Structure 1
């Protein structure tokens, strides 16, 4: 049982580390910025329809690229720790099903979310300050 919680902690910490290392929050901020720019462009009455179309096409291409990189990054952040936990389950330190069950337990969910929130708040304060 302790091994399963250790494996679950490994999965949560691995996800959190990859989530931050792959700069997925920054990519989502970039997406938000482009969406705001697109809305401002669409609402700008001083631009012709042709200019709006060109600018919005460029924004849509940027959004598509960011969406693809965000999707791949999220898949890596979730998949790599789970894959490694599955491989390490063959050492019989934990069972993969036990690790998955432990990741859904309330104590581990709370313990996994709190450090992530603290790290995200710190990174937000550094950018503002």
Structure 2
């Protein structure tokens, strides 16, 4: 069975083109990332990575699996967002506009409780004058 972890690691490898940098981006050790990629290859029965000294390239099949894997990862994130939203949690991005004269007084009191209650909410603040 393919795991989301394996797809995340393959995606990072496709993006960074290097096992060490991909591992760093995923906050894991290089051997852990390499082992998951090998497990993915074993599960699929195909090579997804062409390994050369000092160079890592995805095979043609590996590039297509990485591309399709991105769709699976996006669908997984959407599913989590949907479930959290249905559970009454705010998720996603919220843009909040505030005028400069109120921002220093309102935001320090408002933001910490909001962030504590809705940790998966990505808050974008815009400080602008009214017209």
Q: Name whichever structure is richer in helix by fraction.
A: 1
Q: Name whichever structure is richer in strand by fraction.
A: 2
TM-score of the pair, normalised by structure 2: 0.30
TM-score of the pair, normalised by structure 1: 0.30
Higher relative contact order (CA 8 A, sep 6+): 1
